[in-house]
Amino acid sequence: MKQAGSVQQKLRHSELGLSDERVISMYKTMMLARRFDERGQLLQRAGKVNFHVSGITQEPSQVAMGFAMDREKDWFLPYYRDYGFVLSLGMTVRDLLLSIFAKEEDPNSAGRQMPGHFGSKRLRIVTGSSPVTTQVPHATGFALAAKMRGEPSVAIVTFGDGSSNQGDFHEGCNFAGVHQLPVIFVCENNQYAISMRYEQQTRGRICDRALGYGFPGIRVDGNDPLEVYRVVKEARERAVAGQGPTLIEIMTYRVTAHSTSDNDLAYRTKEEVEFHKSKDALPVFRQYLTDAGLWSEEEEATLQSEIRSTIDEANEYAERAPFQSPEDSVRYVYAEEGN
């Protein structure tokens, strides 16, 4: 796959309308997400932070999603593993580290919420919570607002495979289907919900559920970010054209434990995990760029050192940053005067 057909592969991103710069930028963002994620794990293991939840191996498709959308117009409702997604939307590693350290300057919640609970009005990233799937009807609501206002905005929302079994998935999708709203529902099917394998969560295919709501449902290989890009982009075009929602099921795999609080070897084998690690899309994507003549060993080395210093700086900054004061931590229950 890597050697043969490289001439043909060279064209894949161009065929999708992605410039060389953009596809390189996608790769850089994936790598940044990966390295940030590894830092998060490290910080937790070192006892510097209490908790980290990882998106490793899901980043390539997350970044592809982000790049397929319009950062100026669309609305983004990510879920807690979406570091790759939010980094592709303009959130910085410093923002994420401020959140991991739960510091006041964290733009997501001023250190009120757990890491992975994203939100930034400036970046059109909608504030999220822990109870899973509540964001699905919210995305429908953003799409409804866009339609009512005649704005060419599309709402894109992500959630896990387990989460697709919540009532809110059903209700949010169905509402969007009836009103043909510009919204993309993305299930990142990493085949586990904490300890529960996919087959313990459902016997159907999640993408097939779209049929019951009257819009297309598509399953796509998460280890093929360009294909994810294509599918999301098409869904976006349909949405903008008034053709309604799309459900996309990204097939991926959770290679880390559910979170740093979980011991995954209590319910699955190392072999299973290693098998999926070997399918990691990140080196494949790098190879693609290399084969396309867009990437070199030197560029890789430079990227890695840049990322390292970005993360180091952000880490230091975030670690030193102050917590929100206890007095301020009880503010903003309601609008304050002059709000």
Partner 1 sequence: MPVIEYIEAIRLAMHEEMERDGDVFVMGEDVGLKGGVFGTTKGLQQQFGQQRSIDAPLAESAIAGVAIGAAMAGMKPIAEMQYSDFMFPATNQIISEAAKIRYRSNNDWNCPLVIRAPIGGGVFGGLYHSQCPESVFFGTPGLKIVAPATAYDAKGLLKAAIRDPDPVLFFENKKCYRLIMDEVPDEDYVVPIGKSNVMREGSDLTIIGYSMPLHFAMQAAEELSRDEGIEAHILDLRTLQPLDQEGILEAVVKTGKVLIIHEDNKTGGIGAEVSAIIAEHLLYDLDAPIRRLCGPDVPAMPINPPGEKHFLLNKDKVKAAMLELARY
Ligand X SMILES: Cc1ncc(C[n+]2csc(CCOP(=O)(O)OP(=O)(O)O)c2C)c(N)n1
Q: Quickly list DSSP for 87-132.
A: HTTT--HHHHHHHHTT-TT-TTTTT-SPTT---BTTTTBPP--SST
What is the 8-class DSSP label of residue 79?
-
Residue 99 or 252 having the CB closest to ligand X: 252
Determine the Cα–Cα distance for residues 260 and 92; give it in Å rounded to an integer.
22
331 touches, from ligand X, partner 1, Mg ion, none (C-beta below 5 to 8 Å by class): partner 1
State yes or no: residue 161 binds ligand X (CB under 6 A): yes
State yes or no: residue 55 binds Mg ion (CB under 5 A): no
Residue 167 or 283 having the CB closest to ligand X: 167
Stretch that binds ligand X, among 85-93, 114-122, 125-133, 221-229 (CB under 6 A): 125-133
CA distances 221 to 63, 250, 330, Å, are 14, 6, 44
Size of the site for its own copies (CB under 8 A): 26
Helix (H), strand (E), coil (C) string for 161-206: CHHHHCHHHHHHHHHHHHCCCCEEEEEEECCEECCEEHHHHCCCCH
User: Which tokens in the block code for residue 130?
Assistant: 């822990």
What is the 8-class DSSP label of residue 265?
G
Identity of residue 188: E
State yes or no: residue 209 binds ligand X (CB under 6 A): no
Catalytic residues: 254, 258, 267
State yes or no: residue 192 binds ligand X (CB under 6 A): yes
Burial class of residue 287 (count of CB atoms within 10 Å of its CB; 0-12, 13-18, 19+): middle
313 touches, from partner 1, its own copies, ligand X, none (C-beta below 5 to 8 Å by class): none
Kindly identify the residues of this chain, within the stretch 162-181, that bind its own copies according to CB under 8 A: 165-171, 174, 177-178, 180
Residue 106 or 264 having the CB closest to ligand X: 264
Answer whether 319's CB lies under 8 Å from 42's CB.
no
CB of 163 to ligand X, least distance (A): 3
Kindly identify the residues of this chain, within the stretch 19-78, that bind ligand X according to CB under 6 A: none
Determine the Cα–Cα distance for residues 129 and 297; give it in Å rounded to an integer.
41
Kindly identify the residues of this chain, within the stretch 207-246, that bind its own copies according to CB under 8 A: 208-209, 211-215
Other Cβ atoms within 10 Å of 46 Cβ, number: 8
List of residues contacting ligand X (CB under 6 A):
81, 130-132, 160-163, 190, 192-194, 254, 258
List of residues contacting its own copies (CB under 8 A):
165-171, 174, 177-178, 180, 199-206, 208-209, 211-215
List of residues contacting Mg ion (CB under 5 A):
160-161, 190, 192-193
